Structure 1
Amino acid sequence: MSIIMDAPSTTAAARTLRADLVERAAKLRPLLADNADATDRDRAVPAENIDALAGAGLLSLTRPARHGGLQTDFRTLLEVSREIARACGSTSWVATLLNASAWFVGLFPALAQDDVWAGTPDARIAGVVTPSGTTRLVEGGYRVSGRWAPASGCAHADWAVLGVVRPDAEGTADAVGIVLAPMAELVVEDTWFVTGMRGTASNTLVGEDVFVPAHRFLSVPDAVEGRCRTPFTDEALYRAPFVPVAAITLTGPQLGLAAAAVDVLAEKAPRRALTMTHYATQAEAPTIQIAAANAASLADSAQLHAYRAAADIDEAALVGVFPDYDARARMRMDAGMAVVHAREAVRIVCSAQGASTFGEANPLQRVWRDIETGSRHAVLNPEVAAEIYGKSLFGIRGTVSALV
């Protein structure tokens, strides 16, 4: 599926690089799978995983080329995230969020980007764009305080993107924004006690009266409408629409978890009997065959929805046309449908495999826990996406959420 649903303007060189990056991710799967139980048990992605991903260039997908990054596209990020998640959902989620947060930094003024990468080209960024903090205007910038969660990837980050509100700017585009702060000026509280995606260590960041220079503030309403502060307007990647990017990037791990479930069924069914039947193997039983077909088709459907949205996002960025509201609503709907199909694929496999699914030694139970958790991120909420999209089909716009 290397070019299905791809942006028409994607170059052959970009597709070649994408294939190479996915292959690099595939080569890391044995290592990541070997560490998956420990990642889940210890509630942290091990440094070995992060070092391997960084060494393969898989944490620099959205970093500007000016700062040594690969500056790829969102289809590439989806495919790489999917491949990593086939081995470990938590590791994929962290890698995805570190890349997504790097993209956010690419929207800031040049000086802010230099703050992050000029002295440390491989600096990593975690992020919580939910406006959980407050700012007050001071000479030269702002004083920021708040608590931000869940901060996926914060254990491996040097900087953080933080969502804030500005009470003094109420009624203007600057009333809600994101700021950049060094991790060294924040405190991490261990609050991530969850059932799924345990290894992401998506803990809480705490800041108290942190000074943020003016150039490290970005208006969210401006960003939603395609008005960002980067002066490098020739860089297509950072012309992509803000909210569709925030949604579609989170589907990558879900695509991989669905694929992992289908992988497990294909591996186990030929070697196990179907309990309380005459079938010597599950693979011989029509019920399992139908389950396999439905799960695999749903996993494919999830990819097609996600890849269509990525193609729309990438194409708009490449040609320099900002998508209108209705197009962005469909992109958010595609993200919601992708996770619905991916989650259902995993459910079907779990049902086909029966109670043994939930044995602690069975990797399928971790896949199930991870997708049940990760697919419920607020920006992926399929019901909200459906309301936004359904209203847009009747010309009703802007009544559900500002994040479209």
Structure 2
Amino acid sequence: MTAVQERASAAEQQLASRRELLSAAKDLVPLLRKNADQAERDRRLPEENVTALREGGFFKLTTPRRFGGHQANMRTYIEVTAELARGCSSSAWVTMILAGGNYAAGLYSEKAQKEVWDNDPEAAIAGVLTPNATSRKVEGGQVITGKWAFASGSYQAQWIVLAFPLVNEQGEAIDQGLALVPMSELSIEDTWYVAGMQGTGSNTVVAEDVFVPAHRILAMSKVAQGQYESEFTEETEYHSAAVSALTLAVVGPQLGMAQAALERVLEIVAQGKPIAYSFYERSADAPSYQLNIADAASLIDRARLLALRAADDIDEAGLSGKYPDILVRARIRMDIGQAAKLSREAVDLLLNVGGAGSFAQANSLQRIWRDIETASRHGYVNTDLSRELYGKALLGIEEQVAPF
């Protein structure tokens, strides 16, 4: 089979998998929607959701096919998590995080991957990439101690990727490390008391003198340059632009949140109720409502187009074997920030249509609003920082203020 034929075959396989996963995600939306309030009350996903997501294969979205996973590319990753978010923001977010962890595990050596999936093909991996830890170098690896907040998916994960300072024998930090650690060696502190994304259970994971062998450690400086430990170079999904991929992933659920808000507002308007303190007997007849809905739908479309362009750039990098240059990576980062911003703005417009009733606890719009206000401010989608990175790249300024 020629290289062109192999690429065409891989594309067909991805398309078939995407259609299957999207169909399954759509079927799951009613269940997730039904349980969304419970997820908020419990501050974690209901077991019914977890079981459905696991049995549906969504926690294996990016697990290598060698271990029974879907090995989804970025376009599939984004579209599937967006679809799940139409039902429940938190369920989609946890799925996205676990898929990100499984994707990250695909960057490690075969030895590390086998430790994760040989005995448990269903294993899911969470991740926190803020290096809130101390470490010391010992024979064969590093010993880490620390606390990592915002650990979404930690209740559902069997493993987790944790950032920490990679040190030499003198205790000097020489890089940022990414440690692949079993959840069984960690504890969880109940710290997740927030206004939005309450159902994610994003508590704090704690490590006390946990030994991490060298084969389960990646150097962030290499990852940021597209240098990975995986020996399976034919698995192009894990040989693209990892930092860009992990950053883009957080946008998927936000696209679905905005879409869910649009669908809810259309349902409300379709009820034919009048506009309070006006002579409009049907809100659908009011140009102000029509314009706000049209503008919101257009913002959602634009957000989706930007996110999928970024996804296609990342997928193409893997297929071509060429690491994206700084300008492409900066544009991806810009697309990510703008997609999140546009999604949030769309929900704001839809709240104008929904009115004060949108904030009733019985109305799902208020939950979606709180969720997207929280999610769209994740550090990965810092819109102002994204603009700075892209502006510097366009002007040829080499100074880097963040990995991308």
TM score, norm. by length of structure 2:
0.95
Give the Cα separation in 2 of the matches to 1:170 and 1:128.
26
Cα distance between partner residues in 2 of 1:133 and 1:195: 27
Q: Distance in 1 between matches of 2:127 and 2:174?
A: 19
1:312-369 deviations in Å (ceiling 9; x for gaps) = 0011111211101111000010000000000000000012211111000000000000
Which secondary structure does the structure 2 equivalent of 1:178 belong to? strand
Aligned-partner Cα distance in 2 for 1:266–1:170? 62
Seen in structure 2, the aligned counterparts of structure 1 residues 352 and 171 have a Cα distance that, compared at 3 Å, is: farther
Aligned match of 2:4: none
Instruction: Determine the C-alpha separation between the residues in 2 that align with 1:170 and 1:87.
Output: 51
Larger displacement relative to structure 2 (233-242 or 94-103): 233-242
Distance of 2:150 and 2:329 partners within structure 1: 25
**In 2, Cα distance between equivalents of 1:351 and 1:160:** 41
The one-letter amino acid of 2:14's match is: A
Q: Report the CA distance between 1:171 and its aligned residue.
A: 12
The letter for the 2-side match of 1:52 is: A
Quote the Cα distance in structure 2 between the aligned partners of 1:207 and 1:146. Answer: 5
Residue 93 in structure 1 maps to residue 126 in structure 2: no
Partner of residue 372, structure 2: 371
In structure 1, what residue type is equivalent to 2:175? A
Q: How many pairs does the alignment contain?
A: 397
Q: How far apart in 2 are the matches of 1:217 and 1:119?
A: 20
Change (3 A) 1:286 1:223: same
Following the alignment from structure 1 to structure 2, what is the Cα–Cα distance between the partners of residues 250 and 399?
A: 22
Alignment match, 1:127 = 127
After superposition, what is the alpha-carbon deviation per residue over 1:116-159, rounded to whole angstroms, capped at 9, x for unaligned? 11111101111101111222111121111111111000010111
Cα distance between partner residues in 1 of 2:50 and 2:309: 29
**Which residue identity does 2:277 align to in structure 1?**
M
**Structure 2 CA distance for partners of 1:183 and 1:289, relative to 1, 3 Å:** same
Question: How do residues 339-350 of structure 1 correspond to structure 2 at under 5 angstroms?
Answer: 339-350=340-351
SS of alignment partner, residue 52 of structure 1: helix
Displacement after TM superposition at 1:56 (Å): 1.4
Following the alignment from structure 1 to structure 2, what is the Cα–Cα distance between the partners of residues 237 and 216? 20
Give the structure-1-normalised TM-score: 0.95
Shift in CA distance, 391/299, structure 1 to aligned 2, threshold 3 Å: same
Aligned partners of 1:142 and 1:214 also within 8 Å: yes
Which residue is 2:292 aligned to? Answer: 291
Following the alignment from structure 1 to structure 2, what is the Cα–Cα distance between the partners of residues 220 and 166? Answer: 9
Taking the aligned partners of 2:296 and 2:383, their CA distance within structure 1 comes to: 19
Cα distance between partner residues in 2 of 1:125 and 1:174: 26
Local SS of the residue matching 1:175:
strand
Pairing 1:328–2:323 present: no
Does the CA contact (< 8 Å) of 1:196 and 1:370 recur in 2? yes
In the alignment, structure 1 residue 37 sits paired with structure 2 residue 31: no
Aligned to 2:129, what secondary structure does the other structure show? strand
Structure 1 stretches of 4+ moved >6 Å: 7-10, 169-173
- The question of whether the paired residues in 2 share the 8 Å contact of 1:62 and 1:70 is answered with yes
Distance 1:40 1:170 in 2: 46
- Greater shift, 162-171 or 89-98, is seen at 162-171
Aligned residue for 2:126, secondary structure, equals strand
- Displacement of 1:13: 3.2
Compute the RMSD of aligned alpha carbons.
1.7
Q: Does 1:17 align with 2:10?
A: no
Supply the AA of the counterpart residue of 1:40.
E
Does the Cα contact within 8 Å between 2:185 and 2:210 map onto a contact in 1?
Answer: yes
For 2:164 and 2:88, locate their aligned partners in 1 and report how far apart those are by CA, in whole Å. Answer: 32
Output the CA distance in 1 between the equivalents of 2:255 and 2:51. 23
TM-aligned CA deviation for residue 63 of structure 1: 0.3
CA distance in 1, matches of 2:277, 2:253: 35
Show the counterpart of 1:226: 226
Cα deviation digits, residues 192-229 of structure 1 (max 9, x gap):
10000000000001001001111011000100000111
Task: Give the aligned partner of residue 148 of structure 2.
Answer: 148
* 1:137-286 correspondence runs (5 A): 137-168=137-168, 175-271=175-271, 272-286=273-287
Contact 1:329 1:392 in 2 (8 A): yes
Do the aligned partners of 1:81 and 1:256 also contact (CA within 8 Å) in 2?
Answer: yes
Contact kept? 1:168, 1:175, Cα under 8 Å: no
